[in-house]
Amino acid sequence: MKHLIDGKWTDGSPSQSVSPEHGVVHPGSFRRRVTRDGSSGFPIELNRYHLYVSHACPFSQRATIVWTLAGLAEAIDLSILDPRWVQSDGWVFGESAMSTKDNGGSGFASLREAYLASDSKFTGRVSVPVLWDKATRTIVNNESLDIIRMLNDEFAPLGAVKSDLYPGPLHATIDALNDKTNQFLAGGVYNVAGAENQAAYDLATSRLFGFLDELEQTLIKGGPFLLGGRITIADVLVFTALVRFDPVYVPLFRIGGKRLSDFPALTAFVRRVFEIPGIAETVLFDHILAHYFDSDWSIPPHRGIVPNLTQLTWYKAPGG
Ligand SMILES: N[C@@H](CCC(=O)N[C@@H](CS)C(=O)NCC(=O)O)C(=O)O
């Protein structure tokens, strides 16, 4: 996927937005923080900050869900990137049915320009989501986990809804689950897609399904959400990956053997989260399908790597 090197839009080898080598979601490069007291240099302020998102992207959807549930629509405005990522410019704006112009006040035509405005020699991926400061015209942060924690904690005084998706006593539990979700599910599907040999494919697949089995058991024993009675950001991370599971990851990322629908408790969980008021509006399948099936990037073919049939729930080899 093309990315910036020393401020120049350059062809690159990384074909996915996560690092297949490390099995984790590729971390963002801007890690500054907005704080209530302004001690970070970025104080909370009504309408000062802006979110650049793509409705296709699960990491962006983490942000739009938390933004919705915290009632931040009046405090932070959004720009929607066109779901079709293009080689020539990457993520682009446009007044179309599936995108907006740059509403962040700079008139950018592509997201790359926001990265270059923040650092003219930027080297790295031009990824969504981005938390942008309209006052200083710079990217504050482009790491979804940081962004959602800021939206929940720091921006709470500006929210129209009193909600807390990251309650203090659950921090350690949520962080631990989020690490696993990033590694085995949100990043794990890219490990399956990007596997270069059978062993890597089998390992990534068994880790992915092992993790889904764990989540399934958690919901059977507890629920209705992953950490009990209330929705937290841990649910948001799992939900945003699972809504893409059967429509995108199974066919396109070549996840073999099982579908989300083979996990009844997880399927019911996805439905439950989907029905929370405001969430359905963040699930835009036209954007999701356009991005994954009609962008200028593709998952390299990997001839000879085949799914493991032991994952098929109904199948038993004759005599086996
Ligand atoms: N660390 C990032 C990962 C974000 C990410 O990978 N976004 C993808 C879209 S789903 C992207 O913009 N990829 C473009 C690229 O990597 O060049 C986060 O969680 O915020």
The C-alpha atoms of residue 158 and residue 47 are separated, in whole angstroms, by 10
Global pTM value: 0.94
49 is catalytic: no
**Atom 9, ligand 1: residue with shortest CA distance:** 57
The answer on pLDDT for 12 being more than 80 is no
* pLDDT of amino acid 27: 78
Q: What is the DSSP letter of 300?
A: P
- Which range, of 157-161, 167-171, 257-261, averages the lowest pLDDT? 257-261
Task: Give per-residue pLDDT as tens, 205-252.
Answer: 999 999 999 999 999 999 999 999 999 999 999 999 999 999 999 999
The answer on pLDDT for 186 being more than 60 is yes
Residue 95, judged by CB atoms within 10 A of its CB (0-12, 13-18, 19+), counts as exposed
The answer on pLDDT for 139 being more than 60 is yes
The answer on pLDDT for 13 being more than 60 is no
* pLDDT of amino acid 24: 52
The C-alpha atoms of residue 113 and residue 138 are separated, in whole angstroms, by 11
> Who wins on pLDDT, 300 or 133?
133
Contact 50, 76 (CB under 8 A): yes
Residue 171 tokens read as 């921090």
Q: Beta strands 138-141 and 130-133: pairing type? A: antiparallel
166 is catalytic: no
Q: Please pick, among 190, 201, 249, 292, the residue that the annotation labels catalytic.
A: 190
**Atom 17, ligand 1: residue with shortest CA distance:** 125
